[in-house]
Amino acid sequence: MHFLSQQSAVKAVKAIGYLPGERTILGHSVAVLADRFAKRVPDLASLRDDAGILDQYYVPTRYPNGLPGGFPFMAYSEEQAMNTVAAAARFLRLAGERIDASSG
């Protein structure tokens, strides 16, 4: 769930970046992408803490050997999972609002 939340937030920020006509947006860090587009979309700056939290889950939850011991599903709590889903939802909500505003 953590990795999918991080990936969802990346896709949401990239969608925001593509709206004004960007052709290529590379990267896998929510924080780096959010910083890149924050001047154009100031609301991204308010999600900076969420971006940093989500990025912490990119590698360790993606690979079975991403943690020094055990498996990712053993290392994280349900509360952490719910927090990452909520953080991703904030990015998705912002992207949806931007998409709606640009098409209406």
Do residues 66 and 22 touch, judged by C-beta distance below 8 A? no
pLDDT of residue 1: 79
Containing domain of residue 20, as a range? 2-103
Number of folded domains that form the chain: 1
pLDDT of residue 11: 97
pLDDT tens, the chain, 104 aa long? 788 999 999 999 999 999 988 899 999 999 999 999 999 999 999 999 999 999 999 888 888 777 787 777 788 889 999 999 999 999 999 999 999 998 86
* Domain containing residue 11: CATH number: 1.20.120.330
pLDDT of residue 42: 95
Q: What is the pTM of this model?
A: 0.90
